[in-house]
Amino acid sequence: MKNLLKVLIDYLRFLSYDSNWERTLFDNVTGGYLVTSLLRIQEANKSKNNLMIYLKEQKMCRKLVSFGFQIEHLYEVPGVSSPDIAVKRHGCIVKIGGRLAELKQLSSSNKIYNEGKNAKYNKKADLIIFEFTKQSSGIFREIGRLTGIGIHGYYYYTDSKTYYAF
């Protein structure tokens, strides 16, 4: 748990976003927050498929906020491969302009390696964040393969209250 002064500073940062952003969620225990690009919301409402993707991303973002992540849910230009979010600050991780991250929800370890490579090399993400709906021994092997080629990020299990860095 963060001290009250740090949470207040995080809240002021959350409130400082301009009218191009929806202030979606603030966690007053962790100081985590989610702001969403209004363009991203508009794009989500253009089709049922876009809306389903958006809702899945928002669900993942809300979970990350509970861990203390400060997130900008970015607008994705249709047809252009790009990361989903910018992680503004988390713990001691600070990067000017944010760290671009790709979100992936998976039920098995089969796609971890390829999704990680796609996030880094095609979408130009700084990191990848996985949500696993089921635990599997293959997850650790595949995460190890990603770190072996310099791809890093975080993962958590859907029902967990903890996340892990890799």
In this predicted model, which residue has the larger pLDDT, 75 or 63?
63
Beta bridge partners of residue 72, listed in sequence order = 35, 86
pLDDT at 141: 97
CA dist., res. 10 & res. 2, Å (int): 10
Residue entry with tokens 């009250």: 4
Alpha-carbon distance of 127 to 153, in angstroms, equals 5
Beta strands in the chain (DSSP E): 21-26, 33-37, 70-73, 85-90, 93-106, 127-132, 153-157, 163-165
Segment (H or E) for 63: helix 48-66
For the stretch 2-37, pLDDT in tens is 789 999 999 999 999 999 999 999 999 999 999 999
Question: Residue 77: helix, strand or coil by DSSP?
Answer: coil
Q: Is residue 142 over pLDDT 50?
A: yes
pLDDT at 120: 94
pLDDT in tens, 73-121: 988 777 777 777 777 654 433 333 478 899 999 999 999 999 999 999 9
pLDDT on residue 97:
45
Domains and CATH numbers, the chain: 4-165 (3.40.1350)
Tokens of 60: 């993942």
Average pLDDT over the chain reads 89
| C-alpha span between 77 and 82 (Å, rounded) | 8
pLDDT in the model for residue 123:
87
Distance CA 118, CA 149 (A): 13
| End-to-end CA, the chain | 22
